[in-house]
Chain A
Amino acid sequence: KNEVEQSPQNLTAQEGEFITINCSYSVGISALHWLQQHPGGGIVSLFMLSSGKKKHGRLIATINIQEKHSSLHITASHPRDSAVYICAVNTDKLIFGTGTRLQVFP
């Protein structure tokens, strides 16, 4: 079993839909990252969380330390949100989930 599990693996949505991507982990962590990887491969760090909730534009990330679970929400999704979203947890190193491939259609 992977130490970091993401769901779903693939997600398609219509423009404007509310999207949720989930991340569960089984190890003790100091922080959790949500990353966005575009088709060209470049990675952008969206959030780093150690507790609670963060919001940036249409993106919201939450984490529940007790339940070892985090969610990434995208409100009013847009085709430019199409990317792979990766959850990574900080132990003594970063452990990555396998990613969620999101496609948003007009």
Chain B
Amino acid sequence: GAVVSQHPSWVICKSGTSVKIECRSLDFQATTMFWYRQFPKQSLMLMATSNEGSKATYEQGVEKDKFLINHASLTLSTLTVTSAHPEDSSFYICSASAGRRNIQYFGAGTRLSVL
């Protein structure tokens, strides 16, 4: 099956710093990438949808200036958590879709801990 690589898998940072998370589709061209957030023992919540070459569409309640998404190529999307605070500590997961039948392939996730 298709492979999506997410990096890093775990990051610890100080409050106020910015953290970048990468999501790469390794063996297919991802026309659409999705970013999800998961709090402990809760289901995944969609943060934003990004299409290659255009601005991301953010879900209600997600600050676009806080969570910067760049989808510069068909194989790479990045999520930057700017000026991270402890409440941003969470599990972030990306997925990628080639658009065919809405099949999404998931990255392994990134656990962010902000001290």
> Complex: how many Å from CA A98 to CA B93?
16
Q: Which residues of B contact A94 (CB under 8 A)?
A: 34, 44, 46, 95, 104
Contacting pair B43 A33 (CB below 8 A): no
Q: Which residues of B contact A (CB under 8 A)?
A: 1, 9, 34, 38, 42-46, 49, 91, 93, 95, 101-109, 111
Contacting pair B103 A48 (CB below 8 A): yes
**Number of chain A interface residues as a range:** 20 to 34
> Complex: how many Å from CA A41 to CA B44?
11
Main secondary structure of the interface of A (DSSP, over half): strand
Contacting pair A45 B102 (CB below 8 A): no
Please list the 4 inter-chain residue pairs (A to B) with the smallest Cβ-Cβ separation, ordered nearest first. Answer: A42-B108, A96-B43, A43-B106, A90-B102
Q: Which residues of A contact B (CB under 8 A)?
A: 30-31, 33, 35, 41-45, 48, 50, 86, 88, 90, 93-94, 96-99
Tell me the minimal C-beta distance from A55 to chain B in angstroms.
16
Q: Which residues of B contact A43 (CB under 8 A)?
A: 93, 106-109
